[in-house]
Amino acid sequence: MRRDKGLYFPERITPLPHSFFKNIDTLSNSEIAFEAIKPFVSPDIPEDILKTIIEDTLSFEFPVITLNDSISTLELFHGPTMAFKDVGARFMARCLGYFNKDNTNEVTVLVATSGDTGGAVANGFLGVKGVNVVILYPSGKVSAIQEKQLTSLGQNITALEVDGVFDDCQEMVKRAFLDEALTSKMQLTSANSINVARWMPQLFYFMFAYKQLYKTYKDLVFSVPSGNFGNVCAGMMAQQLGLPIKHFIASNNENNVVTQYLKTEQYTPKPSVQTISNAMDVGNPSNFIRIREIYKNNFEVLKSNLSSFSFSDEATRDALKEIYDTFNYVADPHGAVGYLGCKAYLKQHPSAHCVFLETAHPTKFLEVVEDVIKEKQKLPKQILAVMGKEKVAIKISSYDELKAYLLEK
C-alpha cells in the first residue's frame, strides 16, 4: 500500500461480493459508491462522514441513453460545471475539507488550468471551510463559458488572469511550491496532491451504467474518450472490484500514443496536437503507467482488456452529424470520438453492447456542435447561470506578482 495524503492507492484489490453486482439495481447510487470506495478510504475517513461526502458529491443524475441495441451513452455532464471532472473534484474537495477540519491555519490550493479542470476544482471547493483556492488561467486562452465558470464564483475562490499561456501558469505554480518565502508563511497544496481522491471516484460511473443496463444487455463494453487516461483507469479499477465489464475501448483523437502502443508495443510520447476534442489533446498520458501496472505490465493481458482507436477531427464531425441524424441525439466532440470507438469495436464484436461516455455537455463546445448539426442549441441552466454573472479576476504577468498577491492575502 502506498500512502497518498491520507488515502490509499491499493496495490492489491479485493473484489466486492458477487451478490453486490447481482443485486446492484436495488441500491442507490450513493450506496453503490459507498461500498465501492470504502475499502480505500476507511478508516481515514469515518463511515458516517464518508456517506455524507458521497451524497454531497453525487447530487445529480447519471443517465444512460440507449441509442440502439448495440450502443448506449452514459451522460456524465449533469454536474455544476457540466464536465465529468465534477465528481472527482467534488469528492477530493470534501475529503481535503475533512482532513483539514481541525487545522486552524487555512490551506491554499493553487491550481493552473487550461480550461475544464480549474472550473471543476474551483466549483468542488466552493464554500469548503478552511480552504482557499487560487486558480491561474491564461488570459484569452480559455473559452468564454470556461472563463465565467472560473471567475464568477466568489467566496473562497480567487481567479488570477495570467498574461501568458497555460505553461506559464503551470510554471508559476511549480515555482510557488518551491519558494520557501511562501511555504514558510502559508500552507500551500496542489489539487493534484491527493489525486487518488480525484480519479478514484470515477469508478462509480461504470457501476452506475452497469446498474442501468445489466438486466437488458450482456457483454457490456465501455468506450472511454481518453486524454490522460484517468477515466479509463478508473473503469479498470471497477473491473478489478468485480464489475463484469467485458472490454474497454480507449477512444482517442489524433493524439494517438496509446493506439500506437497497442499496435506496436512501442510507447512513444509525442507533443500534443490541437483538435476539436481538446480535453483529450495529451501527448503523454499521465495515467497510462497505472494501467500498465493494473495488468502487471503484461502486454497480452492488457491487450485482451483494452482496444484503442484514433480518429481525425473530420471523422469526429461526421460522427456528430451521424449521431444527430440517426438517433436525434446531440453529442459533444469527445462523446463523438467515443461513439466512433464503439462502432469500430462492434464491427469485430457485433454481439457486444457498447456504452460510450459523454464526458461534456455539447453546449460547452457550442461552435463546433452548431456548425455541424446546423441547429441552435438551448443553453442549460448551469451555463446560463454563469453567463449572467460578473467576471472577477486579478491580472498578473509575472511570478513576483503572484508571490506578492499570496503574501498580502
Ligand X SMILES: *Cc1c(COP(=O)(O)O)cnc(C)c1O
If one asks whether residue 85 binds ligand X (CB under 6 A), the answer comes out as yes
Count of residues near ligand X by CB under 6 A: 15
To ligand X, the closest distance from the beta carbon of 280 in angstroms equals 5
Here the cell at position 339 is 461513439
Shortest Cβ 77–ligand X spacing (Å): 8
359 binds ligand X (CB under 6 A): yes
| Nearer to ligand X among residue 71 and residue 282 (C-beta) | 282
Closest to ligand X by CB, 37 or 396 = 37
The only residue of 208, 229, 261, 309 in contact with ligand X, by rule CB under 6 A: 229
Q: Is residue 227 near ligand X by the rule CB under 6 A?
A: yes
Cβ closest to ligand X, residue 211 vs residue 334: 334
Q: Which three cell numbers stand for residue 369?
A: 456542435
**Which residues inside 315-334 make contact with ligand X, applying CB under 6 A?**
334
Interaction of residue 279 with ligand X, rule CB under 6 A: yes
**Range 142-201, binding ligand X (CB under 6 A):** none
Q: Nearest approach, Cβ of 136 to ligand X (angstroms)?
A: 18
Q: Is 41 in the site for ligand X (CB under 6 A)?
A: no
Which of residues 41, 83, 112, 142 is near ligand X by CB under 6 A?
Answer: 83
Interaction between residue 131 and ligand X (CB under 6 A): no
Indicate which single residue of 360, 383, 396, 406 sits in contact with ligand X (rule: CB under 6 A): 360
Judged by beta carbon, residue 99 or residue 205, the one nearer ligand X is 205
Cell 488570477 maps to which residue?
A: 160
Q: Strand 131-138 to strand 107-112: parallel, antiparallel, or no bridges (unpaired)?
A: parallel
- Residue 280 within binding range of ligand X, rule CB under 6 A: yes
Residue 255 interacting with ligand X (CB under 6 A): no
| Count of residues making up the chain | 409
Interface region with ligand X, contact rule CB under 6 A, candidates 170-178, 185-193, 229-237, 313-321: 229-237
Q: Is 228 in the site for ligand X (CB under 6 A)?
A: yes
Name the residues that contact ligand X, by CB under 6 A: 83, 85, 116, 225-231, 279-280, 334, 359-360
